[in-house]
Amino acid sequence: MGISYKPFDLIDCNLVFKDACANLQLAIRKNQASVTRGDLPRVTGDSFQLLQLFQNLIGNAIKYRSRSAPVVFFGASRQGDNWLFSVQDNGIGIPEQYHQRIFQIFQRLHTQKEYSGTGIGLAICQRIVDRHGGRLWVESEPNRGSTFYFSVPVPK
């Protein structure tokens, strides 16, 4: 039986961003986070999965905060045949040796006590980006925040 997927539609990512922030309103308020975006494109995709992806990446940026209030910027730029999205934060950062591991299911870098969660969020993000024909990666250093990047093909 696998999971049934909706066919892809043309999606306005500005609206997906707005819905993700609405769903994260409590965490945003509690952490006094600033979550802003650049102008986001329209892409061909599954709106529910893109919402999950945006929400996971923004939610993580807020969760893995430093002592300062979280500042998250969600941007996109065109790179040839792809839209390159970036989610940039000022959080605790991730040591380079873990950059690959964090996308595997149930891989956690912190104890449940330090940061709640199941360890499947980024693995789900990886699957969603794969399904949309793109790639997902992170650039980060400890104490310098992280930028998660994902690409989605420009609609034909």
User: Is residue 84 one of the residues assigned to a domain?
Assistant: yes
Please say if the pLDDT value at position 19 is more than 60: yes
Closest CA to 136 of 123, 119, 120, 118: 123
User: Is residue 1 one of the residues assigned to a domain?
Assistant: no
Domain that holds residue 42: 9-153
User: Is residue 2 one of the residues assigned to a domain?
Assistant: no
**CATH number, domain with residue 91:** 3.30.565.10
106-146, pLDDT tens digit by residue? Answer: 555 555 555 555 557 888 999 999 999 999 999 998 889 99
Closest CA to 75 of 43, 42, 50, 38: 38
Predicted confidence band at 36 (pLDDT cuts at 50, 70, 90)?
A: very high
Q: Token match 């209030």: residue?
A: 69
User: Is residue 62 one of the residues assigned to a domain?
Assistant: yes
61-94, pLDDT tens digit by residue? Answer: 999 899 999 999 999 999 999 999 999 999 999 8
Question: Would you state the pLDDT for residue 79?
Answer: 97
User: Is residue 4 one of the residues assigned to a domain?
Assistant: no
d(CA 125, CA 25): 20
Instruction: Give the count of domains, the chain.
Output: 1
For the chain, what is the mean pLDDT?
89
Question: Would you state the pLDDT for residue 1?
Answer: 47
Please say if the pLDDT value at position 52 is more than 90: yes
User: Is residue 124 one of the residues assigned to a domain?
Assistant: yes
User: Is residue 109 one of the residues assigned to a domain?
Assistant: yes
Percent of the chain's residues with pLDDT above 90: 73
9-18, pLDDT tens digit by residue? Answer: 999 999 999 9
